Amino acid sequence: HDEDSEMGGRIFVSYPASEEVPQWVLRRIFESNLNKLLEWVPDDEYMSERERQEFRLLKLDEALSLIHRPGDLDDAERGRRRLAFDELFHLQIVQAQARRKATELGPGISHQRSNELIRPLHDALPFELTKAQARVLSEIYTDMQMDRRMNRLLQGDVGAGKTIVALFAMLLAAEGGYQSALMAPTEILAEQHFRQVHSLLQPLGVNVVLLTGSLKGQKRDQALEAIESGFGQVTIGTHALIQDSVSFGNLGLLIVDEQHRFGVRQRMALLERKNNRPDLLVMSATPIPRSLAMAFYGDLDLSVLDELPPGRKPVKTELRTPAQRGSVYKFVRTQIEEGRQAYLVYPLVSESDKLDLLAATEEFERLKLEVFPGFRLGLLHGQLPASQKEETMGAFARGDLDLLVATTVVEVGIDIPNASVMLIENAERFGLSQLHQLRGRVGRGPAKSHCILIAEPEARASERLNIFRDSTDGFEIARADLRMRGQGDFFGSQQHGRDPILRFSDLIADEDLLVLAQDTARQIISVDPDLQHTDHKRLSELIESRYQDRLAMFGVG
């Protein structure tokens, strides 16, 4: 079918076609049936005529008509804008309900600040807090001293100093006789946190306890007893902390580290199981653009560490092609011979028939035999048993391995100051934010560090990778990633592309709509939290039908 002969100068709508049902067929179906379909659009809008005019939005049937049959691009944009507002507003209603429910679980703890622990730690630190850290701490202290529960997201760039902020929050809880718990995603990260926290708080007389899944026998019993009795003022652990066998004597603060994929439902479940109504601080290591945080973390207040501590050495980032791999390997060998360590990261665990990509398992064998004979190599990927992953990462941390061949499982990793090279193969396959996280694994020690990307020189990937090479600002990189890859399905497994919940909205271009949607949703939920008013009946029905398979994730509905 010669589609172009029909198009002339007209604007045509693009539908999600397939080989079986091409564009021209879909266009004819909609063109033939659009008027009949529009008759089925309900007359009862969820917003009043006055609100629509105030928000400068079309009626729903008008918007749908212009989306499918635009006279010009302005028509299409006006139609899209109405549909974009609808999905943003509905999402914000659900977020506002979750936010409201968190406050209805009961009053929070009004922590009392005496400075008897906070001041000694501040005086003992060998560095000054950044202005951003001081500002964020003020926000957290204010929240914790109020009689409503804190629900706060703390985000910052790699190396922005989130852990020290968490420490001061723990001390505020301890000053009033309350316990704190910090939950990390892996045992090895929990152990690193434990060493850091223990070294800083033990001199102040604060008892720090470690609880992980691998802790067995008498040591586990002792840890559980310390937690239950309240002797353990600060507990560092993994998901073992939320097991039924763990009972806190007086938990006042729960900190969840590196859990930017933690859903609202899991956050609510954690808090509902703790009888003391503890404050919640979620720490995300991934910088999240403001609009994305508003859209998907609307139930949490937001604190941002947008300043790095002085003195941290920048990591030199370089782009290389596969043809230059030999010289890159030579450089890595030189670094190891000088006593340093290196990461080699691959996009896949094992070879795929469909994708011509290098894979960690096969490359590990080749590198060990052909490229780095005589060096100590380790292999790390997500399909290994947890104990083996911990053992390999521990060996690398101790310096027993020279080179770690891995997948992105090292994206959330521990501090290894001696690692000076991050080599990433098929870098065009990674998102910018993911690359930034991987780059953050090096540059933590005194040595000059390097992040080397090996990528096919394709135009689109090249633009993305040039942005990454030229910027060290995680928030700038996250915005570019969002613009180039789409918002992805933050409730599902899709890693990039358009979010099924947000099909018409663009979180960068539509930030004004998002602010309007959030403000309006919060006003409505403040006076009608369960959407019981007659005016909100249609809105309630729409929310239920739109999110019926997802409302449970929010613990509402």
Tens of pLDDT along 342-352?
Answer: 999 998 866 65
- Residue holding tokens 């053992």? 391
Residues 280 and 253 occupy one common structural domain:
yes
Model pLDDT, residue 338 = 96
Q: Is residue 480 part of a domain?
A: no
Same-domain pairing of 72 and 131 = no
- Among 274, 305, 336, give the residue marking a domain's end: 305
User: How many CB atoms lie under 10 A from the CB of residue 543?
Assistant: 22
| Residue 536 DSSP one-character state | G
* 130: Cβ contacts below 8 Å, ≥ 6 apart: 160, 161, 305, 307, 308, 309, 310
293 and 159 co-located in one domain: yes
Angle at alpha carbon of residue 343, lines to 338 and 345, rounded to 5° = 150
Would you say residue 226 has pLDDT above 90? yes
Same domain, yes or no: 291 and 429: no
Contact 452, 328 (CB under 8 A): yes
* 173 Cβ contact partners less than 8 Å away, ≥ 6 residues apart: 111, 144, 179, 180, 252, 253, 279
Higher pLDDT, 544 or 368: 368
Is 279 strand, coil or helix?
strand
Shared-domain flag, residues 291 and 416: no
Question: Does the pLDDT of residue 276 top 90, yes or no?
Answer: no
Domain for residue 256, yes or no? yes
Same domain, 457 and 518: no
Selection from 70, 8, 72 nearest residue 34 by Cα: 70
Examine residue 485 and state whether it is found in any structural domain, yes or no: no
Instruction: Assess if residue 433 is contained within a domain.
Output: yes
Mean pLDDT estimate for the chain: 86
Total domains in the chain come to 3
Confidence band, pLDDT 50/70/90 cuts, at residue 383: confident
- On whether residue 479 sits in a domain, the answer given is no
Amino acid at site 200: L
Measured CA distances, 521 to 87, 397, 538 (Å): 12, 48, 14
- In sequence order, the 6+-apart residues with CB closer than 8 A to the CB of 453 are 317, 318, 319, 320, 424, 427, 435, 465, 468, 469
* Domain shared by 288 and 140, yes or no: yes
Q: How far apart are CA 49 and CA 70, in angstroms?
A: 23
Lowest mean pLDDT: which of 35-39, 87-91, 399-403, 545-549? 545-549
Chain-centroid distance, C-alpha 206: 31
Q: Are residues 192 and 163 part of one domain?
A: yes
Q: How confident is the model at residue 463 (pLDDT cuts 50, 70, 90)?
A: confident
Task: Return the structure tokens found at 461.
Answer: 């990937």
- Domain extent for 17: 4-104+510-550
Residue 451 has pLDDT above 90, yes or no: yes
Rounded CA-CA distance 531/97 in Å is 10
According to DSSP, residue 312 is labeled: P
Per-residue confidence band for 124, with pLDDT thresholds at 50, 70 and 90: very high
Q: Where are the alpha helices (DSSP H) in 105-130?
A: 118-124
Both 250 and 193 in one domain: the answer is yes
Average pLDDT (144-156) is 90
Is the pLDDT at 532 greater than 60? The verdict is: yes
Question: Residue type for 473, please?
Answer: D
Q: What is the predicted pLDDT for the residue at 268?
A: 59
Is the domain of 516 the same as that of 424? no
Is 328 in the same domain as 295?
no
- Return all residues near 431 (Cβ < 8 A) that are at least 6 apart: 481, 485, 495, 496
HEC secondary structure over 404-453: EEECHHHHCCCCCCCEEEEEECCHHHCCHHHHHHHHCCCCCCCCCCEEEE
Q: Work out the average pLDDT over 123-130.
A: 92
Q: Which residues pair with 76 in a beta bridge?
A: none
Q: What is the helix (H) or strand (E) element at residue 143, kind and residue range? A: helix 131-145
In whole angstroms, what is the distance from residue 266 CA to residue 271 CA?
9
The pLDDT score that the predictor gives to residue 241 is 84
Question: What's the whole-model pTM score?
Answer: 0.79
Q: Which two tokens stand for residue 269?
A: 């479940």
Distance CA(285)–CA(191), nearest Å, equals 18
504 inside domain:
no
Report yes or no on 232 lying in a domain: yes
What is the CATH classification number for the domain harbouring 421?
3.40.50.300
pLDDT at 550 over 60: no
Q: Is pLDDT at 278 greater than 70 in this prediction?
A: yes
Residue 46: CB partners within 8 Å, gap ≥ 6?
A: 536, 538, 539, 542
Does pLDDT of 149 surpass 90?
Answer: no
- Beta-bridged to residue 304, according to DSSP, are 155
- % pLDDT > 70, the chain: 87
Radius of gyration (Cα) for the chain, nearest Å? 26
Residue 555 pLDDT more than 50? no
Comparison of pLDDT for 354 and 438, the residue scoring more: 438
Q: Does residue 176 belong to any structural domain of this protein?
A: yes
Q: Let me know whether 39 and 146 are in one domain.
A: no
